[in-house]
Amino acid sequence: MAAPLLGGAQGILQIPKPRIGAFELADPVDLFYLTLIASGFAAYCAWRLENSRLGRAWMAVRDDEDVAQALGVDLVEVKLLAYGLGAAFAEAAARLERLAGAPVTSSNHALAWHCLRLAGIDHALPDAGKLFELAQV
């Protein structure tokens, strides 16, 4: 039934190669290097954030809120920045899901989905990501 649409055993044909500007990522090695560069950039940003004033404030709040507040850390500002950054990452993942047409999941996301299914909750959960929007068939 879906063979004419999906190409049957041959798969979907004529999918265009990904492009960044005029550069076409035709080879898997190109995709590897792109992923390596993006991962290195993310690790560098995380390292810089950890050693910044904000990163140290987050670690202080994580360890002990009362001591952090006594040392002059504004708890409301620091927590709002953490929640805002988390929301930005969630929005980025949602946009990637829409762009890719497939769920963007972490191991925690997949574990939560599996636990819900084991508990008998198999209806769609709107606004929780593409994985949770799909009801069990």
Tens digit of each residue's pLDDT (9 = 90 or more) over 8-61 = 556 666 677 777 788 887 787 887 888 788 889 988 988 998 889 999 999 999
**Separation in Å, CA 100 to CA 47, 63, 96:** 29, 38, 6
- Residue 135 DSSP class: P
CA pair distance 56, 75, nearest whole angstrom? 13
Tens digit of each residue's pLDDT (9 = 90 or more) over 98-130 = 766 666 666 677 777 778 778 887 777 766 666
Place of tokens 């952090």: 68
Give this prediction's pTM.
Answer: 0.52
